[in-house]
Structure 1
Amino acid sequence: MAGAEMLVHWLRPAEKVAQLVVERRGWDHVETALANPKPILFVSPHLGAIEACGIHLAMRIPRQLAALYRPPKIKVLEPLMLASRDRENGLAAPANAKGVRLLLKTLKAGQTAYMLPDQAPGAGDGVWAPFFGQPAYTMTLLPKLARQFDATVLMCFAERLTWGRGYRMHVVPLPALSGEPVADATTVNAAIEDLIARAPAQYLWSYNRYKRPAGAPKPGEENA
């Protein structure tokens, strides 16, 4: 279902996709954040309709939205994906040094960014933190960006409604971060778990969240 709707969302006019979000819960947090000059960091895991969530934000937020992405495994799909994510206020940023610099520039300008927090980072770019009771190598980039730019961090996802009725957007503020990498990664993972609990059947459980990246230490060995 996720693969089929992704292609539809890439090909359909952006405003048509944005209109598929027929209900929004917690949108007042977005409005409060927009009333503040601080940048906003939207964080959406592999849950629900990822493309619809990002497109709705790009169409409804009066700021530039830089979205960090990893190229699809099917290379021929990348131009299509980029054409979709670069529409309106959207700006696709590859998950490499160039893309991170683009994210930094966007947040420094007081704009907005969109990230998936449950992708396994490369060695040295993460720490081990619990995720549903098991250690998962979790990115440190998100907390670093939030602290560096004093950004408002909003967790979000677009829940699929039954019978093709569209999507329900959920927006929840991320609890305060401490500045300690493992504690912050634990906070982020707990927030992801809370979102998943709202629609557990719509999480991409097939994604290997618990893999150990090449060169990364074993759980509990970071300080060994």
Structure 2
Amino acid sequence: MLILFRLLSRCPLWLLHHIGAALGWLAFGLSPAYRHRFRENAAQAGLDWAQARPAVASAGRMAAELPWLWMRPHDRLLGSWVRVEGGEHIRAAHAQGRGLIFLTPHLGCFEVTAQAYAEHFSALCGPLTALYRPPRKAVLRDLVDTARHRPGLKTAPATLAGVRQMIRALKAGEAVGLLPDQVPPEGLGVWAPFFGRPAYTMTLASRLAHQTGAQVLLAWGERLARGAGYVVRFSPLEEALPVEAESAAACINRAMERLILQCPGQYLWGYHRYKGPRTLPADGAQP
């Protein structure tokens, strides 16, 4: 797997995106369950097929661009491949001595948002710590660990120890990153509307914000056409984040909806967003 990723990482981004688009349509055609969930989720958001259709290829592009992003040498910066918008919100929070919580949905290239922050802002604001769930397979776990440990980036496992790591980072005025439209384990979320349908939604983001006084910013990376790169956008949360868990989750879901509807053709509509939470083991060490 590592050898394959290294070989693919040498391909130009436009070629990887062409390959990914084909793979996206192949997966869509071969899996009735995936196809049904994709259509159902898009319809739930009020989209017709013409609006949702580009997301089929986009899902494949997301997978195909990972070698290019992950295996790039640490000294080879994104540079002209990424344009950043909204960086003033990051600098303003840093000037106030506040930590930052970035909320990024499964929209566009969410891997590039963390790398863009690391390259543009970590020298000023410190590293970004991203919460992630390590893959179960050892070969993938080693690959992800190698790929995501880059200058200006740290990772925190989805465990109590990982949450403590994020709290320390925020209290030190650093940044953390979360995917708030990811279904958390049982007991670590609440049911809140997402495009008008109850979805089990994490409470971690609001807990971190209220516990540390960190500022919440939205972030997403738009994938440009023909492999031209990305635009990474940072923007503030439009509403004050409520203290009550259900209200805070609903507030965050509304923010995710607004981002997604800016570019519905790059959202992972095939993600099982409305599934029930998985049960933690008896000695579960999850946050």
TM-score by length of 2: 0.71
| Structure 1 residues 142-192: Cα deviation after superposition (integer angstroms, max 9, x where no partner) | 000001111011110110011111101111111211101111001100111
Supply the AA of the counterpart residue of 2:168: K
Supply the AA of the counterpart residue of 2:180: P
| 1:9 correspondence with 2:69 | yes
Aligned partner of 2:248 among 181, 184, 204:
184
The structure where strand makes up a greater share of residues is 1
Structure 1 SS opposite 2:66? helix
Q: How does 1:114-133 map to 2 (within 5 A)?
A: 114-133=177-196
**Structure 1: gaps of 5 or more residues:** 217-224
Give how far 1:65 is off: 1.0
Give how far 1:20 is off: 5.3
Aligned mates of 1:57, 1:38 — CA distance in 2: 16
Aligned mates of 2:195, 2:75 — CA distance in 1: 36
Q: Once superposed, what is the RMSD of the aligned Cα atoms?
A: 1.7
Structure 2 SS opposite 1:183? helix
Aligned mates of 1:77, 1:214 — CA distance in 2: 22
Q: How does 1:19-168 map to 2 (within 5 A)?
A: 19=79, 21-61=81-121, 62=123, 63-72=126-135, 74-168=137-231
Give how far 1:94 is off: 0.8
Q: Is the 8 A contact 1:9 1:17 kept in 2?
A: no
Q: Which has the higher Rg, Structure 1 or Structure 2?
A: 2
Give how far 1:138 is off: 0.3
Q: Is the 8 A contact 2:128 2:175 kept in 1?
A: yes
Structure 1 SS opposite 2:187? coil
Identity of aligned residues (%): 43
* Bigger mean CA offset, 62-71 vs 145-154: 62-71
Structure 1 SS opposite 2:102? strand
Give how far 1:214 is off: 4.1
Aligned mates of 2:115, 2:138 — CA distance in 1: 22
Give how far 1:76 is off: 1.3
Aligned partner of 1:173 among 199, 215, 236:
236
**Structure 2: gaps of 5 or more residues:** 1-60, 281-287
Number of residue pairs matched by the alignment: 216
| Structure 1 residues 37-64: Cα deviation after superposition (integer angstroms, max 9, x where no partner) | 1111111111111111111111222312
Structure 2 SS opposite 1:172? strand
Aligned mates of 1:30, 1:91 — CA distance in 2: 18
